[in-house]
Amino acid sequence: MNEPITYNTGYLDEQTKRMIRRALLKAVAVPGFQVPFASREVPMPRGWGTGGVQVTAAVIGEDDVLKVIDQGADDTTNAVSIRSFFATVARVRTTTRTDEATLVQTRHRIPETPLAAGQIIVYQVPVPEPLRFLEPRETETRRLHALEDYGLMYVKLYEDIARYGHIAKTYDYPVLVNGRYLMAPSPIPSFDNPKMHDNPALQLFGAGREKRIYAVPPHTSVESLGFEDHPFEPQRFDRPCEICGSSGVYLDEVITDDAGGAVFVCSDTDHCERASLAGAEDEEARA
């Protein structure tokens, strides 16, 4: 007969959680430095947030309130899946509201609502090495980081400018953390990069497949690379969200017909919902 199989609270066993916490402490102590850790298998496929899931599992406690987003939205399938995973194995309260969450796990976005002191944001990272596509070898990139030799990256950015007139990096835009380590911010759009700088929340990054953890402690300098005559330019949208009317937010382009018609709406569903609600209340008050 099949014996019932049980798993520890939060899925990971306590020894593994301690191992990950040690890696996290080191990561916080050396901002932007990729700490190798003995990444475990988790019950979802590699590349689907296994690093973020392990970091979350290692820091989550029963008093935490968890928010999970993918592409800025709480209701994308993978966000739903990870949220329900922790609701089941860690029995924590979950929320879609950024300001209610103590812990936010994210893929590809930073919420529009500014994070506050005491909050933790966990990024899912596919490729933690910012130099990987310029130098495939781990032994070599490790040496480049040790020597703070980031010339390769500046040359790539320069070549973009020479070829296209712009830096052609629109997401996972490289940043220099605390004036020392070059870091991949995970594939968030460059639009979100400025939010990382001097953020009061603790930012943790987990790359499960690549077995690396790194961190940006609260109020740390995060500088997106650029040149004096070609400074970093985050992308902007020159229109507001068609649902809530917010401007200065990241928008999704939603195709509405076969003729290529499209509307632009907030990528951050929590922000959009609350802005719509606030807008409706204002109108009521005026009426």
Partner 1 sequence: MYVAVKGGERAIANAHALLAKVGRGDPAAPTVEVDQVTGQLGVLVARVMTEGSLYDPHLAARALLQSQGDVLEAVTLIRSYRTTLPRFGCTLPVDTAGLPPQRRISATFKDLPGGQQLGATFDYTHRLFADGGTEGPPPRAEDPAGAALPRVADLLGAAALIEADSHPGQDDVEPGDLTREPTVFPLTRAERLQALARGDEGFVLGLGYSTQRGFGNNHPFAGEVRVGEVEVEFDAPELGFAVPLGRIEVTECQMVNQFTGSADTPAQFTRGYGLAFGRSERKAMSMSLVDRALRAEELGERATAPAQDEEFVISHSDNVQATGFVEHLKLPHYVDFQAELLLVRRLNEEFRSRGADGPGAGQEVPA
Nearer of residues 70 and 144 to partner 1, judged by Cβ:
70
How far is residue 189 from each of residues 99, 108, 169, 277, measured CA to CA in Å?
22, 7, 9, 26
b (16+ CB within 10 A) / e for 54-90? bbbbbbbeeebbbbbbbbbbbebebbeebbebbeebb
What is the closest distance, in whole angstroms, from the C-beta atom of residue 281 to partner 1 in the complex? 19
Catalytic one of 32, 51, 206, 208 = 32
Instruction: State how far the Cα of 235 lies from the Cα of 282, in Å rounded to an integer.
Output: 30
Instruction: State how far the Cα of 182 lies from the Cα of 53, in Å rounded to an integer.
Output: 24
Q: Is 266 a catalytic residue?
A: yes
Nearer of residues 50 and 119 to partner 1, judged by Cβ:
50
Q: Is 61 a catalytic residue?
A: no
Instruction: State how far the Cα of 137 lies from the Cα of 131, in Å rounded to an integer.
Output: 9
Nearer of residues 187 and 240 to partner 1, judged by Cβ:
187
Distance of CA 19 to the CA centre of its chain: 22
What is the closest distance, in whole angstroms, from the C-beta atom of residue 54 to partner 1 in the complex? 10
Residue labelled with tokens 């009317």: 245
Nearer of residues 173 and 181 to partner 1, judged by Cβ:
173
Q: Is 118 a catalytic residue?
A: no
Angle at alpha carbon of residue 98, lines to 200 and 69, rounded to 5°: 110
Answer for the pair 51, 39: CB distance below 8 angstroms, yes or no: yes
Active-site annotation, residues: 32, 241, 244, 266, 272
